[in-house]
Amino acid sequence: MRVIVPIKQVPETNAVKMDEETGTMIREGIEAIINPLDLYAIEIAIRLRELRSAGAETAGTVAVSMGPPKAITALREALAMGIDSAVLISDKAFAGSDTWATSYVLAAAIRRIGEYDLVICGERATDGDTGQVGPGIASWLNLPVVTYVGKIDQITEKTCRVHRLGEEGYEVLEVQLPAVLTVVKEIADPRLPTLRGKQKAKRAAIPTWTPGDLEVETGKLGLDGSPTRVVKIFRPKVARECRKVAALDEEAVHSAVDQLVAFLQEKELI
């Protein structure tokens, strides 16, 4: 069982600040961490390897991240948790990629990593928050994808049976391998890195791949290669209109009800 886990480094805070002029994220001065939702992907990848791979030659888990050089710390954290190896994809040419270009590059990296049974992504990144990259990777690799996976209840060499969480319950789906899954919190509780894991991660050699290491067209990379652009970004202003109606006796209550009904009708709510 060989599992590839794309992980993203994100700002530590939930209160992501945006530059309203340029429409990009202000990353300066903010601590960066592994996207918290990717920890679940890492955990299930490690469990699958432990469960299915004893002695297998191609066994292993690989974490891959596209980002600035400092994203290497997220990869070391994944190694400390128990991921076997890691690759950083980093170059100025990748900067400003939208989800289309990001998934294009990650798919090229996955092709280069080679043989694999599963690609497991987090449900979404807590900064960009689109949830598009996992399905995007599947599309570039022409693989089946299941999103919102909360449980893997059976896995063989050729198929995997999963529970996909929906708003009103879950669907049980069987998917051919290799496949891409995006997973939700219910999948497994992430373990804490051990001291031994941290020491191993500190020493691990992590290669950095640039466009020259991947089969990619340069016109499809970075801000210039991205078909989508943030044209405007702003915090919506929430304004509430309040109207008080005093109703201290029965007659006033009747009048208040009439006023309420008229108001709702005027707003076309009833």
Ligand X SMILES: Cc1cc2nc3c(=O)[nH]c(=O)nc-3n(C[C@H](O)[C@H](O)[C@H](O)COP(=O)(O)OP(=O)(O)OC[C@H]3O[C@@H](n4cnc5c(N)ncnc54)[C@H](O)[C@@H]3O)c2cc1C
The binding site for ligand X (CB under 6 A) comprises 6-8, 24, 35, 37-38, 41, 65-67, 96-99, 102, 106, 121-122, 124-125, 127-134, 223, 228-230
Q: Report the residue number, 95 or 245, with the smaller CB distance to ligand X.
A: 95
User: For residue 17, what are the CA distances in angstroms to 37, 38, 68, 100?
Assistant: 20, 21, 18, 23
User: For residue 248, what are the CA distances in angstroms to 255, 256, 262?
Assistant: 11, 10, 20
| Bridge partners (DSSP) listed for residue 66 | 89
Helical axes 99-113 vs 133-141, angle rounded to 10°: 50
- Nearest C-alpha neighbor of 86 from the set 1, 6, 141, 194: 6
Whole-number minimum distance, CB 173 to ligand X, in Å?
Answer: 19
Q: Report the residue number, 101 or 175, with the smaller CB distance to ligand X.
A: 101
Q: Report the residue number, 96 or 193, with the smaller CB distance to ligand X.
A: 96
What Rg, from alpha-carbon coordinates, does the chain have? 24
Q: Report the residue number, 136 or 197, with the smaller CB distance to ligand X.
A: 136
Whole-number minimum distance, CB 22 to ligand X, in Å?
Answer: 8
Residue whose CB is nearest to ligand X in the complex, by number: 128
Whole-number minimum distance, CB 12 to ligand X, in Å?
Answer: 15
SS3 184: coil
Whole-number minimum distance, CB 203 to ligand X, in Å?
Answer: 23
Structure tokens belonging to residue 74: 């997220």
CA trace torsion 73, 78, 84, 86 (10° rounding): -40
Q: Report the residue number, 148 or 194, with the smaller CB distance to ligand X.
A: 148
Whole-number minimum distance, CB 256 to ligand X, in Å?
Answer: 47
